[in-house]
Structure 1
Amino acid sequence: MNQEKGILLESGTNELEIVEFEVGSNHYGINVIKVKEIIQPLSVTPIPHSHPYMEGIIQLRGEVLPVIDMRKVLGIQGGEKHNQDKYIVSEFNQQRVVFHVDNVTQIHRISWNQIEKPSNMYQGTSSKVIGVIKKEDEMLLLLDFESIMAEINPDSGIRVEEVKKLGKRIRSAKKIVAAEDSPLLRKLLSDTLTEAGYDDVEFFENGKDALDYLTSLASSEERVEEKVNLIITDIEMPQMDGHHLTKKIKEDSRLSTIPVIIFSSLITEDLKHKGERVGAEDQVSKPEINELVLKIDKHIL
């Protein structure tokens, strides 16, 4: 899939493209930036004693890739394979993986402010839905693919024990604002930053809430830099994404001197230019938490 067309050439527009797919009777979405290609199902080799979500492995142009059964991930029982089944070949968190879905239908270009966060009634740390897109006749559910992969392979997620290798540090006087929509990743990020000595972290579920907080601080007479030392942001978030948040911060003279680090599964050599264009001081790919802490040390002290 071509990721360099249209709106995807622009940075900080708060827009994205979503690949819509079906599993059971529901419709779901995945950011097109995560999608390398969509192919017909191939012959799968099962792996004994693998995770229940794992269907097996395939060989695609000489590369061995894991195949994840999205019916099992989403707790949908039964269902036979049919001619519309598709494999979504994805890349994020520095890994390639294949998601087996019932069908791929179309691509939507939308704004992040069209994506509503899930209600607290059905959102929890184990929820796989991080956003709801309302359409005329249906709802499109945006899934947290990072937490799905962390559940299958914990080593692919943020690990607190990695930070312990950096040694003891005293950073409690430093204030950090962090924007991260995933409840699971907010908890992991909080634990790891506390372990690193940064225990004064204000978390927000999306870029809009973080920006509202920062601008409210900027309305006082005291300089914001004296209240907030650094900002960490994910890219994919309902209401306002991390690129748009960074752009807004750098365009505001009251906030522009605060360092911004983008911490996202979408940080690749091909996509780093987006963060550079909006003025981010640094970008770190999940789950490189050690690298994130070292970048914080660099900019905050």
Structure 2
Amino acid sequence: MTGLIDSVDQRTRLVGQNRLELLLFRLGSGQLYGINVFKVKEVLQCPRLTAIPQRKPVVRGVAHIRGSTVPILDMNVATGQPPLADIDKCYVIITEYNRSTQGFLVSNVEQIINTNWENIHPPPRAVGSDTYLTAVTETAGRMVAIVDVEKILAEVSSAREQVSDAVIATGVAARMHGRHLLIVDDSSVARRQIQGVMQSMGLITTACEDGRKALQFLQAMVAEGKNPSDELILVISDIEMPEMDGYTFTAAVRADPRLCDLHIILHTSLSGVFNKAMIDKVGANDFLAKFNPDELAQRVNAHMLTLLAQQGEEVTP
């Protein structure tokens, strides 16, 4: 199994090419699931678990791994199914999301596939808006369901989503009258979290589900005779998205002289394997690991103050 996850350095070469590698696994049924290898730190046979009092059903216990205590979440329970049986025969995928490490209990792990984000599509609308899927793809004639891990973690943890009152710069958003910002993220939970922060600051938001839709939105704005840099304060974009990832989206914006002045913050759960060189290469203005509402508000405040100063207005943080 150790050969399944080799060198992250080798996989960083996929970044910026709109490509990714998926680790495929199964749960209690025959359905095949996938998770981005960039999120995976290790795959191992399920270790001995220690129960914790008053735990949520999805948390099967904690394991001591490499000197750290890691919560182990039953991926089957997380997606509304019965708990996995015979967990001593199951595997744990150790991941890093949103600045935290956790393990996902799965029935078995199959293989890694190399694919293109263009082959990753949003789930069919017929499955509804409350689904745990963030995308689907196909390999060798088999459908692969990609789970919205951010939705699972948001339901398991009670992380703060509100901005502290002291962080909001009074009156700054009002001086940006008529302008709003663009949010680009495939996770419904992430979009809701970011929109909540921006609304608490008095800002108007538009949201797109992936980089391709966001690029089309900006191009349509240009076609209407509008200057996106005049209409939008900034763009907050995820990196991992179906159809077109955040790196490719940012590079496309920078390559278009009608869009290239937009301020772009890449906001991603890829905190553990973040490649600063790639952020610079594609031309993003800033990077922020998900999800800290105060940090996000501070970055947006700082940019708005910069815009006001450029307009010759007196600025007071």
Q: TM-score, normalised by structure 2?
A: 0.87
The counterpart of 1:104, out of the listed 93, 100, 109, is: 109
More helix by share: 2
Q: Which amino acid aligns with 2:222?
A: A
Q: Tell me if structure 2 keeps the 8 A contact 1:159–1:192.
A: yes
Per-residue deviation, residues 75-104 of structure 1 (Å, max 9, x unmatched): 333653277521101112111101110000
The within-5 A match list for 1:3-152 is: 3-6=8-11, 8-24=12-28, 25-77=30-82, 79-81=84-86, 85-124=90-129, 126-152=130-156
Overall identity of the aligned pairs, in %:
28
Q: CA–CA distance in 2 between the matches of 1:236 and 1:189? A: 16
- C-alpha deviation, 1:111, in angstroms: 0.9
Q: Give the count of matched residue pairs.
A: 295
Unaligned runs of 5+ in 2: 308-317
Structure 1 residue aligned with 2:311: none
Q: Which amino acid aligns with 1:271?
A: N
Per-residue deviation, residues 35-66 of structure 1 (Å, max 9, x unmatched): 00101111000112111100000111211110
The within-5 A match list for 1:242-281 is: 242-268=246-272, 270-281=274-285
- C-alpha deviation, 1:16, in angstroms: 0.6
Q: CA–CA distance in 1 between the matches of 2:295 and 2:273? A: 16
Q: CA–CA distance in 2 between the matches of 1:93 and 1:81? A: 30
- C-alpha deviation, 1:70, in angstroms: 1.3
Whether 1:171 aligns to 2:173 is: yes
Q: CA–CA distance in 1 between the matches of 2:299 and 2:84? A: 47
The counterpart of 2:297, out of the listed 290, 293, 296, is: 293
Q: CA–CA distance in 2 between the matches of 1:75 and 1:217? A: 41
Q: Tell me if structure 2 keeps the 8 A contact 1:179–1:203.
A: yes
Deviant stretches of 4+, over 4 Å:
none
Bigger Rg, which one: 2
Q: TM-score, normalised by structure 1?
A: 0.92
Structure 1 residue aligned with 2:161: 159
Q: Tell me if structure 1 keeps the 8 A contact 2:21–2:114.
A: yes
